[in-house]
Structure 1
């Protein structure tokens, strides 16, 4: 699940107001609606897309879709929790020694369904399910990666004042041919690192490279286990991981790439402005500043209220809006997730800090490696920011537009992950080949 994908719905519904009810149709999105609630439809589509990398089953997701009541977040929780529990029980019933593939695939799906079930729970930060169900998701994912042909290894790296959880997949090619390229990938605003394995991780491993994921402050597990919100100095998250990677004998130190998905498309380039050991950076997609995007999609009165600097009134307005039963799901989630991921109770504080995570020309001029800038043709959230980022990067940028006609025009190529991998990783392979 990716924040900026969800924000695309806010862009499509440019007249969002506190009093707006959930849409009775989903004509604002370019794919077949899965719910009368636009935001539910979007997240259910994300659930389906996980199937491309073994993270869900279309039949299981579609059954949950048929049972979920539009706009009812408890219904959303109940149906995916039911799927998580049921598929977990199946996994537990399998003799994993005799049938490791069957057990692995069931554990992967159960883990995804547990993660999906608590997607809307961030609106109530004291809800115990936000934590207990997450623990179930992590446990099942760990069981799954212990059964993969290329085993995933979970470990913790020490950062400056926080711990950085990573998952490391060592390429089997490294044993026979020495050090191999390594791709370090970070997720975004609300997606966990576990999702990344299903979206692009298997494709990286299939190319014979080491694959590593990580999370920093504000991201799902770090936020839960350490209580930390997003920070603007993202290099402090990435640099300790690179330090660790350079100690691994199977890592080709000259061929390490950093990727970022969704909000990670800002975080990865931001880290690369200070951390210069990367052969390349993947910004999928190339967003520059999410606060800027959101302000353009806010109702004019709300944007004016924020720009006035009146923190007290802005806080009161959004805190009232996010509990208003008449407000649409997207709007309520947008506020609740922002407060959660920045570990604050003040909407003004969250939104101001969001604006501080920014890629301008001065910042981007510090990047020394080539940057793949992805763009979805139908990506409303970026609003042309991909072209701005590419222009500011100059000859260091490679801008690629994914086409809606081929089902790849959504932000981060949701549902067309194979196309994303083909284009971005083939580009990356050529970059690796050119490294001396």
Structure 2
């Protein structure tokens, strides 16, 4: 892995995630080199550097707006939102974190306004209250009725919908698939604004999301896929197991038993990509002991056999967060007849967790795999039977 902060896995993997989402090494080096060179591990100094990085882009965007260069301004603002999002992930809950998160939301909203980004903000009514998300509409290959399949994207531990948009962008839309990036319980707005913790039964929010999608024009709700990054791979698999309206599943990290993984991390002091406060906070617990008890419910050991839809698991050979052996066990246990485990190696690039060290090959592979099952294959079947579309 590219270790900008040697010996500091959490900060280095955050740098890689920011690059994955469209940050630039020039910006990052300009603001983070003093921290690296001094050996500082102060998370508030870390947060200040990322906030300054984001605000610099916002200032440059203002100049672009005055010059009438709105698309350029929007691009800078999207990058600013990535920088604010990256900085606040290492900061404990409190005023500083909240201020940085608000700056992220504002920068993204301004990017949508100025570019304009082709997204539609939606709110899904669920048992946990309203879940906010962004629909990214398909741009091509719609069926005869003008509808497109859709993929619901779940983020990992503290991966917001804005960061998901920056990572995915138009990758699915260009292949004829509408994409929904959404904050679910335990992340983004539900956690920060309403205090809604993560829940193990992800089929509950998934069910509410699909109910909502069935009411929207331009979406073929008979072709709904789920995809999840990191912990989102757990959410996607669990949703597919118990919500049979889902047509395909992608786990961008093959999770087996997340509770056991966390217990092992805690007992060994293993490096992780977020500080230890993150787990209790996301799960609505006050102590690590309570969080470890609650996280034991996040197991897919008995769930994978219930996943019958076409399944793709994407994993890195050198994943330091989820062992490759867990992905292999998940693949063997999955009940899908159409299933694939794609392991990226060091020679491929993308050998780290969710391929942050070289993400684009995995991103394109996932999009092509979903297009084959949601766009190409359904049309082939329809033509074979003389059906114009549902």
Q: How high is the TM-score relative to the length of structure 1?
A: 0.80
Unaligned runs of 5+ in 1: 1-29, 303-327
In the TM superposition, what whole-angstrom CA distance separates every residue of 1:106-137 from its partner, at most 9, and x where no partner exists? 11111111112212222xx3x21221221121
| 1:199 partnered with 2:140 | no
2:195 to 222, 227, 231: 227
Find the counterpart in structure 2 of residue 434 from structure 1.
Answer: 377
Which deviations, in whole Å up to 9, do the C-alpha atoms of 1:298-324 show, x marking residues without a partner? 446x8xxxxxxxxxxxxxxxxxxxxxx
Question: What residue number does 2:101 align with?
Answer: 134
Which 5+ residue runs of structure 2 have no aligned equivalent? 382-390
Number of aligned residue pairs:
372
* TM-superposed deviation, 1:332: 10
After TM superposition, the structure 1 = structure 2 runs for residues 373-388 of structure 1, keeping only pairs within 5 Å, are 373-383=313-323, 384-388=325-329
TM-score by length of 2: 0.88
For residues 140-181 of structure 1, the C-alpha deviation after alignment (integer angstroms, 9 at most, x for no partner) is 112212344661111211101322111111223377851122
CA distance in 2, matches of 1:82, 1:376: 33
Which of these residues, 311, 317, 339, is aligned with residue 371 of structure 1?
Answer: 311
Higher relative contact order (CA 8 A, sep 6+): 1
Preserved CA contact (<8 Å) 1:174 1:250? no
Contact 1:87 1:110 in 2 (8 A): yes
Residue matched to 1:109:
79
**Cα distance change of structure 1 residues 149 and 210 upon mapping to structure 2, 3 Å threshold:** farther
SS at 1:282 equivalent: strand
Query: How many angstroms does 1:46 deviate by?
Result: 2.0
C-alpha distance after superposition, 1:366-401 (max 9, x if no partner): 323111111211113222111111111143421111
Partner Cα separation in structure 1 for residue 273 and residue 161 of structure 2:
24
Secondary structure in 2 aligned to 1:94?
helix
The one-character-per-residue Cα deviations of 1:252-282 (angstroms, maximum 9, x if unpaired) are: 2232211000000001111112211122000
Q: Over aligned residue pairs, what C-alpha RMSD do you find?
A: 2.3
2: CA distance, partners of 1:291 / 1:216: 19
**Counterpart-to-counterpart distance in 1, 2:273 and 2:251:** 28
Quote the Cα distance in structure 1 between the aligned partners of 2:307 and 2:12.
38
**Conservation of the 8 A alpha-carbon contact between 1:107 and 1:144:** yes
Residues in 2 aligned to 1:48 and 1:141: alpha-carbon distance in whole angstroms: 17
2:184 aligns to what SS in structure 1?
coil
1:288 pairs with 256, 268, 282, which one? 256
**Alpha-carbon shift at residue 415 of structure 1 (Å):** 3.2
Instruction: Say whether the 8 Å CA contact 2:9–2:272 is kept in structure 1.
Output: no
Asked if residue 250 in structure 1 is aligned to residue 218 in structure 2, the reply is yes
